Amino acid sequence: PAYASGLPEEDSRHEGEEHEGEHKEGEHEEGTIHLSEDQLATAKLGIRRAEAGTITPSLNVFGLIRPNQEKLVHIVPRFSGVVLDVKKRLGERVEKGDALAVMESDESLRAYTLRAPSSGQIVQWNVAPGQYAGTSDTLMVIADLSSVWLDLQVHTHDADLIREGQTVTFEGRMNERPVTSKISYLSPIAAQDTQSLLARAVVPNAEGRLKPGLYVTAKVALQPVEASVVIARSAIQYEGADPIIY
Protein backbone atom coordinates (compact mmCIF):
# COMPACT_ATOMS: atom_id res chain seq x y z
CA PRO A 1 0.00 0.00 0.00
CA ALA A 2 0.94 3.62 -0.49
CA TYR A 3 0.55 4.34 3.22
CA ALA A 4 0.92 2.48 6.46
CA SER A 5 -0.68 4.72 9.03
CA GLY A 6 -4.18 3.50 8.56
CA LEU A 7 -5.21 6.92 7.33
CA PRO A 8 -6.65 7.57 3.95
CA GLU A 9 -4.07 8.33 1.31
CA GLU A 10 -5.14 11.98 1.10
CA ASP A 11 -4.94 12.44 4.87
CA SER A 12 -1.61 10.69 4.92
CA ARG A 13 -0.33 13.03 2.23
CA HIS A 14 -1.49 16.06 4.20
CA GLU A 15 0.13 14.70 7.33
CA GLY A 16 3.36 14.17 5.43
CA GLU A 17 3.21 17.74 4.18
CA GLU A 18 2.71 18.92 7.76
CA HIS A 19 5.69 16.90 8.94
CA GLU A 20 7.73 18.13 6.03
CA GLY A 21 6.76 21.70 6.88
CA GLU A 22 7.70 21.15 10.52
CA HIS A 23 11.00 19.69 9.47
CA LYS A 24 11.80 22.66 7.26
CA GLU A 25 10.81 25.03 10.03
CA GLY A 26 13.11 23.18 12.41
CA GLU A 27 15.93 23.45 9.92
CA HIS A 28 15.34 27.22 9.70
CA GLU A 29 15.37 27.57 13.47
CA GLU A 30 18.48 25.50 14.08
CA GLY A 31 21.33 27.66 15.43
CA THR A 32 19.10 30.73 15.70
CA ILE A 33 18.29 32.53 18.93
CA HIS A 34 15.50 35.09 19.04
CA LEU A 35 15.69 37.79 21.72
CA SER A 36 13.19 40.52 22.42
CA GLU A 37 14.18 44.17 22.83
CA ASP A 38 13.83 43.80 26.61
CA GLN A 39 16.06 40.72 26.62
CA LEU A 40 18.69 42.52 24.55
CA ALA A 41 18.61 45.45 26.97
CA THR A 42 18.84 43.19 30.02
CA ALA A 43 21.77 41.25 28.57
CA LYS A 44 23.41 44.51 27.45
CA LEU A 45 23.74 43.20 23.91
CA GLY A 46 23.97 45.35 20.82
CA ILE A 47 23.77 44.57 17.13
CA ARG A 48 26.17 46.21 14.70
CA ARG A 49 26.89 45.57 11.05
CA ALA A 50 30.28 44.11 10.18
CA GLU A 51 31.60 46.15 7.27
CA ALA A 52 34.74 47.61 5.75
CA GLY A 53 36.65 50.21 7.73
CA THR A 54 39.95 51.39 9.16
CA ILE A 55 41.61 49.77 12.16
CA THR A 56 44.55 51.07 14.19
CA PRO A 57 46.66 48.21 15.52
CA SER A 58 48.69 48.78 18.67
CA LEU A 59 51.86 47.47 20.24
CA ASN A 60 52.09 46.73 23.97
CA VAL A 61 55.35 47.83 25.57
CA PHE A 62 56.65 48.19 29.12
CA GLY A 63 57.51 51.66 30.36
CA LEU A 64 59.05 53.44 33.34
CA ILE A 65 57.98 56.86 34.63
CA ARG A 66 61.01 59.05 35.32
CA PRO A 67 61.59 62.68 36.29
CA ASN A 68 61.89 65.03 33.35
CA GLN A 69 65.67 65.43 33.26
CA GLU A 70 65.30 68.78 31.51
CA LYS A 71 63.56 70.11 34.62
CA LEU A 72 66.03 68.92 37.26
CA VAL A 73 68.11 71.57 39.06
CA HIS A 74 71.29 70.67 40.97
CA ILE A 75 72.04 72.98 43.88
CA VAL A 76 75.79 73.58 44.39
CA PRO A 77 77.60 76.24 46.45
CA ARG A 78 78.72 79.40 44.68
CA PHE A 79 81.80 79.45 46.93
CA SER A 80 83.44 76.63 48.86
CA GLY A 81 82.80 76.73 52.56
CA VAL A 82 80.97 75.40 55.60
CA VAL A 83 77.21 74.87 55.79
CA LEU A 84 75.85 77.00 58.65
CA ASP A 85 72.13 76.19 58.39
CA VAL A 86 69.75 74.08 56.31
CA LYS A 87 66.32 75.54 55.56
CA LYS A 88 64.67 72.76 53.52
CA ARG A 89 64.49 69.00 53.80
CA LEU A 90 64.10 66.03 51.45
CA GLY A 91 60.63 65.83 49.87
CA GLU A 92 59.64 69.42 50.64
CA ARG A 93 58.01 71.60 48.04
CA VAL A 94 59.94 74.80 47.29
CA GLU A 95 59.12 77.91 45.33
CA LYS A 96 61.51 79.95 43.24
CA GLY A 97 63.53 82.20 45.54
CA ASP A 98 63.05 80.14 48.71
CA ALA A 99 66.08 79.91 51.02
CA LEU A 100 67.62 76.44 50.92
CA ALA A 101 70.77 76.72 53.03
CA VAL A 102 73.16 79.26 54.55
CA MET A 103 76.90 78.89 53.94
CA GLU A 104 80.07 80.67 54.99
CA SER A 105 82.49 81.40 52.17
CA ASP A 106 86.12 80.33 52.57
CA GLU A 107 87.23 83.37 50.60
CA SER A 108 85.42 86.17 52.41
CA LEU A 109 84.34 84.37 55.60
CA ARG A 110 80.94 85.93 54.98
CA ALA A 111 77.64 84.08 55.12
CA TYR A 112 75.52 83.80 51.99
CA THR A 113 72.21 82.11 51.24
CA LEU A 114 71.56 79.46 48.59
CA ARG A 115 68.13 80.02 47.04
CA ALA A 116 65.94 77.88 44.82
CA PRO A 117 66.37 78.94 41.17
CA SER A 118 63.03 77.33 40.26
CA SER A 119 59.95 75.80 41.85
CA GLY A 120 59.68 72.07 42.45
CA GLN A 121 60.22 69.29 44.95
CA ILE A 122 63.48 68.29 46.62
CA VAL A 123 64.16 64.75 45.40
CA GLN A 124 67.81 64.45 46.49
CA TRP A 125 69.32 65.88 49.66
CA ASN A 126 72.89 65.60 50.90
CA VAL A 127 73.60 68.48 53.25
CA ALA A 128 73.88 69.06 57.01
CA PRO A 129 75.03 71.91 59.27
CA GLY A 130 78.81 71.92 59.77
CA GLN A 131 79.42 70.10 56.50
CA TYR A 132 82.17 71.38 54.21
CA ALA A 133 81.09 71.67 50.56
CA GLY A 134 83.00 72.57 47.44
CA THR A 135 81.68 74.20 44.30
CA SER A 136 81.28 70.81 42.60
CA ASP A 137 79.33 69.18 45.45
CA THR A 138 75.60 68.73 44.84
CA LEU A 139 73.75 69.59 48.04
CA MET A 140 70.20 69.16 46.73
CA VAL A 141 68.31 68.33 43.54
CA ILE A 142 64.99 70.06 42.80
CA ALA A 143 62.64 68.38 40.34
CA ASP A 144 59.77 70.10 38.57
CA LEU A 145 57.32 67.18 38.27
CA SER A 146 54.66 69.10 36.34
CA SER A 147 55.77 66.87 33.48
CA VAL A 148 57.50 63.48 33.56
CA TRP A 149 59.21 61.18 31.10
CA LEU A 150 57.71 57.87 30.06
CA ASP A 151 60.60 55.70 28.90
CA LEU A 152 59.43 52.76 26.78
CA GLN A 153 61.41 49.57 26.23
CA VAL A 154 61.00 48.54 22.59
CA HIS A 155 62.35 45.16 21.52
CA THR A 156 64.61 45.29 18.50
CA HIS A 157 62.26 43.14 16.39
CA ASP A 158 59.54 45.79 16.90
CA ALA A 159 61.81 48.78 16.33
CA ASP A 160 60.70 49.30 12.71
CA LEU A 161 57.10 49.80 13.90
CA ILE A 162 57.87 52.77 16.18
CA ARG A 163 58.04 56.37 14.96
CA GLU A 164 58.25 59.79 16.55
CA GLY A 165 54.81 61.36 16.81
CA GLN A 166 52.94 58.09 17.44
CA THR A 167 50.32 58.19 20.19
CA VAL A 168 51.05 56.27 23.38
CA THR A 169 48.39 55.47 25.98
CA PHE A 170 48.69 53.92 29.42
CA GLU A 171 46.75 53.57 32.66
CA GLY A 172 47.72 55.94 35.46
CA ARG A 173 45.91 54.87 38.58
CA MET A 174 42.94 52.53 38.93
CA ASN A 175 39.59 54.08 38.01
CA GLU A 176 41.30 56.99 36.28
CA ARG A 177 41.16 57.98 32.65
CA PRO A 178 43.95 56.62 30.45
CA VAL A 179 46.92 58.95 30.04
CA THR A 180 47.84 59.90 26.47
CA SER A 181 50.96 61.46 25.00
CA LYS A 182 53.14 61.21 21.90
CA ILE A 183 56.57 59.71 21.34
CA SER A 184 59.05 62.57 21.05
CA TYR A 185 62.39 60.74 21.09
CA LEU A 186 63.82 57.49 19.74
CA SER A 187 67.29 56.44 20.85
CA PRO A 188 69.65 55.55 17.99
CA ILE A 189 71.58 53.23 20.33
CA ALA A 190 70.29 49.93 21.73
CA ALA A 191 70.70 48.91 25.36
CA GLN A 192 73.28 46.14 25.47
CA ASP A 193 71.88 44.35 28.52
CA THR A 194 68.24 44.21 27.38
CA GLN A 195 68.76 44.35 23.60
CA SER A 196 66.02 46.96 23.37
CA LEU A 197 65.61 50.52 22.14
CA LEU A 198 64.43 53.52 24.13
CA ALA A 199 61.34 55.43 23.02
CA ARG A 200 60.35 58.43 25.15
CA ALA A 201 57.21 60.50 25.63
CA VAL A 202 56.89 63.66 27.72
CA VAL A 203 53.71 63.37 29.78
CA PRO A 204 51.92 66.31 31.48
CA ASN A 205 51.63 65.77 35.24
CA ALA A 206 50.16 68.99 36.61
CA GLU A 207 48.33 67.19 39.43
CA GLY A 208 51.36 65.10 40.37
CA ARG A 209 49.58 61.76 40.06
CA LEU A 210 52.32 60.11 38.01
CA LYS A 211 55.08 59.09 40.36
CA PRO A 212 58.61 58.58 39.02
CA GLY A 213 59.81 55.02 39.52
CA LEU A 214 56.50 53.36 38.63
CA TYR A 215 56.31 50.77 35.84
CA VAL A 216 53.41 50.84 33.38
CA THR A 217 52.19 48.88 30.37
CA ALA A 218 51.59 51.21 27.46
CA LYS A 219 49.99 50.87 24.02
CA VAL A 220 51.59 52.52 21.02
CA ALA A 221 49.19 53.22 18.15
CA LEU A 222 50.68 51.93 14.89
CA GLN A 223 49.97 52.78 11.25
CA PRO A 224 46.21 52.56 10.43
CA VAL A 225 45.19 49.68 8.15
CA GLU A 226 42.22 49.42 5.75
CA ALA A 227 40.25 46.19 6.32
CA SER A 228 37.41 44.59 4.34
CA VAL A 229 35.56 43.60 7.54
CA VAL A 230 35.84 45.42 10.87
CA ILE A 231 34.25 44.39 14.17
CA ALA A 232 34.59 45.73 17.68
CA ARG A 233 37.10 43.89 19.85
CA SER A 234 34.42 43.61 22.55
CA ALA A 235 32.28 41.52 20.14
CA ILE A 236 34.77 38.66 20.14
CA GLN A 237 33.83 35.80 22.46
CA TYR A 238 35.93 32.77 23.33
CA GLU A 239 35.13 29.08 23.62
CA GLY A 240 38.29 27.88 25.30
CA ALA A 241 41.08 29.37 23.21
CA ASP A 242 38.95 29.71 20.07
CA PRO A 243 37.60 33.18 19.19
CA ILE A 244 34.02 33.27 17.90
CA ILE A 245 31.61 35.98 16.77
CA TYR A 246 27.83 35.88 16.89
User: CB-based contacts of 90: which residues, under 8 Å, 6+ apart?
Assistant: 122, 123, 124, 125
Nearest to 68 by CA among 136, 151, 137: 151
Distances (CA, A) of 234 to 54, 58, 223, 226, 230: 16, 16, 21, 19, 12
In this prediction the pTM is 0.72
Nearest to 65 by CA among 216, 221, 167: 216
pLDDT along the chain (246 residues), means of 10: 39 47 49 77 79 90 96 96 97 97 96 97 96 97 97 93 95 78 95 92 93 94 88 84 84
pLDDT reported for residue 55: 86
Distances (CA, A) of 95 to 89, 100, 120, 198: 13, 10, 7, 33
pLDDT reported for residue 16: 47
